[in-house]
């Protein structure tokens, strides 16, 4: 670990176990924990600070926008990826074709499938660009696959969708926070905030291009989606927000109070530095697996899955090493608070 990153990790994180499971849930920095406690204490004391701060939500919106390379006017805030995807699914005409990778994460697929009147088609992740056709209305896929860390060729898929006049929805949940990710080329991106962005469940982000904003209906718009929300608390909406804020959900304030210092930490370190650190740890793990005779799913992401080893997870957990079992594989994931020693600890337990 880079010395400066090591110093930050020791200062900002308090975990005492070998936690290699960010792809399931990230660790809250100390500053985020402090913000949650402060708000909860204020709420218990009936102080105004316990009621939540919309200005803080907007600072989080701006911080996320900087991390993914778009203007804050393209970012809507919410609580869950599936809700954002459902909004996009509701906007499609009956019979529209949606192309998804095989075995894609359920939240990216189900809102389209459950419409019942859309044509949902599947293709291998490696063949997504070639599978886009003249009938395709939307391609929905994850930038990085949750199950095994395979990375989509987003540039090739974007080229194919442009050639056929289709739109793209990219789930950046397993990318934003470690992978330099530019949301600007896509009509829609969705990102959960509780994994690589070091937040809690209850904060999620939808980006919408200016063109797509014009024909996406804000079906769950409440008063916070108004241009002047304090003038929209009663009666019909006088005027929707002029930008992506029209797609906001009422924020879960505890989650957004936690998100502000977490995103600030990532901005301070820099995603390029986090990327270099995380992928170096994954490379070390892959090399160790090869020495043990195990073959992980190929890739370069800090999500490493080893087919056939899911049964080792309880043994690892008993040894104080947290991983995940996904799709029959043992999945380990490495983030800025992890060290080479923790990678070696995982390999030592696997070696018996």
pLDDT tens digit string along 172-222?
Answer: 999 999 999 999 999 999 999 999 999 999 999 999 999 999 999 999 999
Higher pLDDT, 137 or 14: 137
Residue 306: count of CB within 10 angstroms of its CB:
23
- Asked if 3-28+270-351 and 44-268 have one fold, the answer is no
- In the predicted model, what is the mean pLDDT of the chain? 96
Percent of the chain at pLDDT exceeding 70: 99
CATH fold group of domain 3-28+270-351: 3.90.1150
- pLDDT at site 5: 79
Domain boundaries, the chain: 3-28+270-351, 44-268
pLDDT-derived band at 101, boundaries 50, 70, 90: very high
Please determine, for residue 2, whether its predicted confidence score (pLDDT) is greater than 70: no
CA distances from 297 to 56, 196, 304, 308, 350 (A): 40, 20, 7, 11, 17
Check: CB of residue 191 under 8 Å from CB of residue 83: no
- pLDDT at site 51: 94
- pLDDT at site 176: 98
Check: CB of residue 29 under 8 Å from CB of residue 263: no
State how far the Cα of 39 lies from the Cα of 155, in Å rounded to an integer.
42
Burial of 272 (C-beta count, 10 Å sphere; 0-12/13-18/19+): exposed
Q: What is the pLDDT of residues 110-137, one digit of tens each?
A: 999 999 999 999 999 999 999 999 999 9
**What does the pLDDT average to over 225-240?**
95
State how far the Cα of 333 lies from the Cα of 352, in Å rounded to an integer.
20
- pLDDT at site 7: 80
Closest to 38 measured CA to CA, from 232, 63, 30: 30
Please determine, for residue 3, whether its predicted confidence score (pLDDT) is greater than 80: no
Check: CB of residue 231 under 8 Å from CB of residue 238: yes
CATH fold group of domain 44-268: 3.40.640
Residue 326's DSSP bridge partners are 329
**What does the pLDDT average to over 320-324?**
98
Handedness of CA 203, 204, 209, 210 (dihedral sign): negative
- pLDDT at site 1: 54
pLDDT-derived band at 314, boundaries 50, 70, 90: very high
- pLDDT at site 281: 97
- pLDDT at site 290: 98
pTM of the full predicted structure?
A: 0.96
Please determine, for residue 284, whether its predicted confidence score (pLDDT) is greater than 70: yes
Lowest mean pLDDT among 7-11, 39-43, 188-192: 7-11
Q: What is the largest CA-CA distance in the chain?
A: 67
């Amino acid at each position: 670990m880079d010395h400066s990153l090591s110093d930050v990790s020791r200062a900002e994180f308090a975990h005492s176990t070998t936690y290699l499971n960010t792809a399931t849930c990230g660790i809250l920095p100390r500053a985020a924990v402090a913000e949650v406690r402060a708000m909860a204490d204020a709420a218990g004391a009936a102080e105004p600070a316990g009621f939540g701060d919309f200005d803080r939500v907007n600072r989080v919106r701006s911080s996320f926008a900087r991390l993914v390379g778009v203007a804050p006017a393209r970012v809507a805030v919410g609580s869950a990826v599936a809700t954002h995807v459902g909004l996009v699914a509701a906007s499609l005409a009956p019979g529209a074709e949606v192309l998804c990778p095989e075995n894609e994460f359920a939240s990216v697929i189900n809102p389209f499938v459950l419409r019942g009147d859309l044509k949902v088609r599947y293709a291998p992740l490696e063949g997504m660009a070639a599978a886009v056709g003249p009938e395709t209305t939307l391609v929905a896929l994850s930038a990085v696959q949750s199950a095994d860390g395979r990375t989509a060729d987003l540039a090739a898929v974007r080229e194919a969708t442009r050639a056929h006049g289709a739109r793209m929805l990219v789930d950046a949940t397993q990318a934003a926070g470690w992978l330099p990710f530019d949301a600007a080329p896509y009509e829609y991106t969705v990102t959960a905030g509780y994994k690589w962005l070091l937040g809690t469940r209850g904060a999620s982000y939808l980006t919408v291009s200016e063109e797509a904003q014009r024909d996406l209906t804000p079906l769950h718009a409440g008063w916070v989606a108004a241009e002047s929300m304090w003038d929209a608390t009663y009666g019909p909406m006088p005027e929707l927000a002029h930008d992506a804020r029209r797609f906001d959900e009422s924020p879960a304030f505890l989650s957004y109070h936690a998100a502000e210092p977490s995103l600030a930490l990532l901005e301070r370190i820099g995603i390029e530095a986090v990327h270099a650190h995380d992928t170096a740890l994954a490379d070390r793990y892959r090399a160790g697996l090869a020495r043990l005779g195990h073959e992980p799913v190929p890739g370069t992401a800090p999500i490493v899955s080893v087919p056939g080893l899911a049964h080792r997870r309880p043994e690892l957990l008993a040894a104080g090493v947290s991983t995940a079992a996904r799709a029959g594989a043992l999945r380990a994931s490495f983030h800025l608070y992890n060290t080479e020693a923790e990678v070696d600890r995982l390999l030592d337990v696997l070696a018996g």
